[in-house]
């Protein structure tokens, strides 16, 4: 019995439990990454085999984001009401239930509901896991622990990309050896299998969440001091557990000396609440304003437009996600050694340089762009629609009609993006390439370009006249023909993007979850994290919504320069306003913002 209580045995037990905490957190990050990346591989086969309309497919893709925004709004309240551990279990259960709903669905409604539930799970996980880690891990390994959440998140994205690549090759081999009906059946089963593959990590996350302790700080705030002390002892030495418990008691005693009215005003106005909340809000908003989600989501399209073939672009995306994963490991190694502030400064500096590099490369080729809008307007039918197969012959004809400016563009390697409108509703096509012989024709018609009802109309353009748009003629506002650069240019762009994601993963990718959880004082941490993460998702949604229309109108160079400008704000915030939180307890960080010294 004496051996059981030896310091060496106690230290070994603490190490095992802390490792288990990190494993559970990692599984949460993996699920979050799967939420983000899984649709990318499933979408092409879903679109090819379902009877869903383009707007319905867009809703399926966006349903995860909608569910995530909704659940993020309430995640803080639920985490305070039911506890961190129960909410982790609930989020895992929601994810596990969503997979069979999606994979077995036979129509739009169950597929949309399953994706919505998957997004709800992701929103809960994005709040509760970093929150739980910040409150459970000691100051010496809190940075590394929270970084594991991001590391496994990137692994989830890599896994989704690899699964998509696997099925891409399978589809290619089936297409070469089978008839059209067999290929259709295989594609129909492929997107369902892609979702089934993601189920086991969800089940493991549920089991792991059942085995961990509740957050000690949540227990303390609920007046369960003995249980809070016991939870601390599972991950800390007795001395460290006693020290942190005393800090909680001291912070609670200071708050209890004030009246309820004083505490309410303090939460709204005092610097220890306002400043860290605003810092977290700026950091979370700027983090997605670097363009990371848009660059991940449209990576293959960006690489194809820069000069790579379809297969090269998809392999380029696999390399992109792999570098993201590997450099997150570097950030995990450095975050508790060099500190959060250092990594954010280095990371944002590298991001700015990388984005400017990509933007400059695109600017050099976009100077050759030719507007063939007038020629395409003449092709609009009496039904006010347009169908165009953009092959080398069509490209040559449009370029010839554009005058001398088109001579610098090779019709065999050209791209076309059309910006058009029906009344007040403006839309844009995806880039079409003249060298893609298997591409479907460009089709523009009223049914797919304007909303079906007034509710959709309001969200798309609240000032538009829907009735007028239903009879308005098709106007081609701009039709840009661009030169597709050679393959070497595409790989140079890819290298700049790899540099971008390397600096992002090492710095902001690792530190953003720490900023979200460490900066918020305990009384407002859960709700403050929810609000900050909602701001992050709203910025992400806005950038995703404007990305293709913005690129079609102004070019890839402009969007990358815009991302670089946002990152400059990020750099200034990190360099001049963010305190270093490495090695500090949550109570010490709170004391810093309150302006009082800690002993």
| Model pLDDT for residues 219-269, shown as the tens digit of each residue | 887 878 888 888 777 777 788 778 877 777 776 676 665 544 455 444 545
pLDDT in tens, 85-105: 899 999 999 999 999 999 898
Residue 206's pLDDT band (boundaries 50, 70, 90)? very high
Report pLDDT for 566.
Answer: 94
CB atoms closer than 10 angstroms to residue 339:
17
Q: Which residues contact 147 (CB under 8 A, 6 or more apart)?
A: 328, 331, 332, 335, 510, 513, 514
Q: Are 321 and 158 in contact (CB under 8 A)?
A: yes
The answer, yes or no, to whether residue 302 has pLDDT greater than 80, is yes
Report pLDDT for 313.
Answer: 78
Residue 346's pLDDT band (boundaries 50, 70, 90)? very high
| Mean pLDDT of the 520-545 span | 71
Whether residue 232 lies inside any domain: the answer is: no
Overall domain count for the chain:
2
Structural domain containing residue 114: 1-212
| Mean pLDDT of the 511-516 span | 72
Residue 102, judged by CB atoms within 10 A of its CB (0-12, 13-18, 19+), counts as buried
Integer CA distances (angstroms), 595 to 205, 233, 260, 273, in order: 40, 30, 21, 12
The answer, yes or no, to whether residue 504 has pLDDT greater than 90, is yes
Whether residue 116 lies inside any domain: the answer is: yes
Report pLDDT for 328.
Answer: 85
Q: What percent of the chain has pLDDT over 90?
A: 13
Which tokens go with 211? Answer: 């085995």
Weakest-pLDDT range from 360-364, 520-524, 563-567:
520-524
Token pair 């302790």 is found at 213
pLDDT in tens, 32-45: 777 777 776 676 67
Report pLDDT for 408.
Answer: 76
The answer, yes or no, to whether residue 4 has pLDDT greater than 50, is no
Return d(Cα 231, Cα 241) in angstroms, integer.
9
Which tokens go with 257? Answer: 């000396």
Whether residue 99 lies inside any domain: the answer is: yes
100: left (phi over 0), alpha (psi -120 to 50) or beta: alpha
* Beta bridge partner(s), residue 417: 480
Return d(Cα 252, Cα 229) in angstroms, integer.
15
Domain final position from 423, 457, 489: 489
Q: Are 504 and 359 in contact (CB under 8 A)?
A: no
Q: Which residues contact 281 (CB under 8 A, 6 or more apart)?
A: 531, 532, 535
Q: Are 419 and 552 in contact (CB under 8 A)?
A: yes
Domain final position from 181, 212, 243: 212
Return d(Cα 547, Cα 495) in angstroms, integer.
21
Report pLDDT for 281.
Answer: 82
Task: Of 235, 192, 196, give the one whose Cα is nearest residue 43.
Answer: 192
CB atoms closer than 10 angstroms to residue 298:
21
Report pLDDT for 544.
Answer: 67
Return d(Cα 290, Cα 296) in angstroms, integer.
11
Whether residue 73 lies inside any domain: the answer is: yes
Backbone phi, psi, residue 368, to 5°: -85, -5
Task: Of 510, 130, 509, give the one whose Cα is nearest residue 288.
Answer: 509
Assign residue 18 the CATH number of its domain.
1.20.1250.20
pLDDT in tens, 452-463: 778 767 766 777
Report pLDDT for 3.
Answer: 44
Which tokens go with 161? Answer: 């990309």
Return d(Cα 165, Cα 161) in angstroms, integer.
6
Which tokens go with 505? Answer: 């993963």
Report pLDDT for 439.
Answer: 62
Which tokens go with 362? Answer: 């695109």
The answer, yes or no, to whether residue 55 has pLDDT greater than 70, is no
Report pLDDT for 495.
Answer: 96
Domain final position from 212, 239, 258: 212
Please, what is the average pLDDT of the chain? 79
* Beta bridge partner(s), residue 414: 483
Report pLDDT for 268.
Answer: 44
Beta-strand relationship, 432-433 and 414-422: antiparallel
The answer, yes or no, to whether residue 304 has pLDDT greater than 60, is yes
The answer, yes or no, to whether residue 141 has pLDDT greater than 70, is no
Alpha carbon of residue 97 to chain centroid: 22
- Give the chain's count of helices (H) and strands (E): 25, 7
Return d(Cα 128, Cα 439) in angstroms, integer.
44
The answer, yes or no, to whether residue 359 has pLDDT greater than 90, is yes
Task: Of 493, 163, 435, give the one whose Cα is nearest residue 300.
Answer: 493
């Amino acid at each position: 019995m004496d051996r059981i209580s030896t310091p060496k045995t106690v230290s070994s037990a603490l190490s095992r439990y802390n490792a288990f905490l990190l494993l559970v957190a990692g599984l949460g990050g993996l699920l979050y990454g799967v939420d983000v990346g899984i649709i990318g591989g499933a979408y092409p086969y879903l679109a090819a085999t379902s009877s869903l309309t383009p707007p319905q497919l867009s809703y399926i893709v966006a349903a995860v984001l909608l569910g995530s925004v909704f659940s993020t709004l309430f995640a803080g309240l639920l985490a305070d009401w039911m506890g961190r551990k129960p909410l982790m279990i609930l989020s895992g259960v929601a994810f596990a239930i969503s997979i069979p709903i999606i994979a077995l669905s036979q129509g739009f409604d169950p597929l949309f509901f399953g994706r919505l539930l998957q997004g709800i799970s992701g929103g809960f996980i994005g709040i509760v896991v970093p929150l739980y880690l910040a409150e459970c891990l000691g100051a010496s390994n809190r940075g590394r622990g929270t970084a594991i959440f991001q590391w496994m998140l990137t692994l989830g994205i890599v896994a989704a990309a690899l699964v998509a690549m696997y099925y891409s090759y399978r589809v290619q081999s089936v297409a070469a050896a089978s008839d059209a009906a067999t290929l259709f059946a295989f594609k129909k089963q492929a997107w369902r299998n892609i979702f089934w593959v993601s189920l086991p990590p969800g089940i493991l996350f549920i089991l792991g969440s059942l085995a961990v302790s509740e957050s000690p700080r949540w227990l303390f705030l609920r007046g369960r001091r003995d249980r809070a002390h016991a939870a601390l002892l599972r991950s800390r030495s007795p001395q460290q557990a006693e020290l942190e418990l005393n800090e909680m008691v001291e912070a609670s005693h200071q708050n209890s000396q004030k009246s309820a009215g004083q505490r309410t005003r303090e939460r709204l106005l005092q610097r220890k609440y306002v400043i860290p909340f605003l810092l977290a809000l700026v950091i979370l908003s700027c983090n997605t304003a670097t363009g990371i989600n848009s660059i991940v989501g449209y990576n293959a399209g960006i690489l194809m437009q820069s000069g790579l073939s379809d297969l090269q672009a998809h392999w380029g995306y696999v390399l992109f996600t792999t570098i993201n994963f590997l450099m997150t490991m570097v950030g995990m190694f450095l975050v508790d050694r060099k500190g959060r502030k250092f990594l954010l400064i280095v990371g944002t500096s590298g991001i700015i340089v990388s984005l400017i590099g990509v933007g400059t490369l695109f600017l050099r080729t976009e100077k050759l762009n030719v507007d063939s809008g007038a020629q395409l307007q003449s092709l609009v039918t009496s039904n006010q629609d347009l169908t165009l197969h953009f092959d080398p012959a069509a490209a040559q004809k449009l370029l010839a009609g554009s005058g001398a400016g088109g001579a610098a563009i090779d019709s065999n390697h050209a791209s076309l993006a059309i910006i058009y409108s029906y009344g007040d509703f403006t839309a844009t096509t995806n880039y079409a390439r003249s060298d893609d012989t298997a591409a479907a024709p460009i089709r523009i018609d009223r049914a797919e370009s304007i909303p079906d009802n007034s509710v959709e109309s309001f969200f798309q353009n609240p000032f538009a006249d829907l009735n007028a748009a239903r009879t308005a003629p098709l106007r081609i506002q701009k039709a840009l023909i661009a030169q597709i650069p050679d393959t070497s240019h595409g790989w140079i762009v890819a290298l700049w993007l790899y540099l971008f994601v390397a600096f992002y993963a090492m710095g902001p990718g690792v530190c953003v979850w720490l900023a979200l959880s460490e900066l918020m004082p305990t009384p407002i941490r859960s709700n403050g994290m929810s609000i900050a993460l909602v701001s992050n998702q709203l910025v992400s949604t806005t950038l995703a919504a404007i990305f293709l229309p913005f690129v079609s109108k102004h070019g890839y160079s402009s969007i990358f320069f815009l991302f670089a400008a946002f990152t400059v704000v990020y750099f200034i915030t990190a360099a001049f306003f963010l305190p270093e939180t490495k090695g500090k307890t949550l109570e010490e960080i709170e004391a810093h913002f309150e302006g009082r010294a800690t002993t």
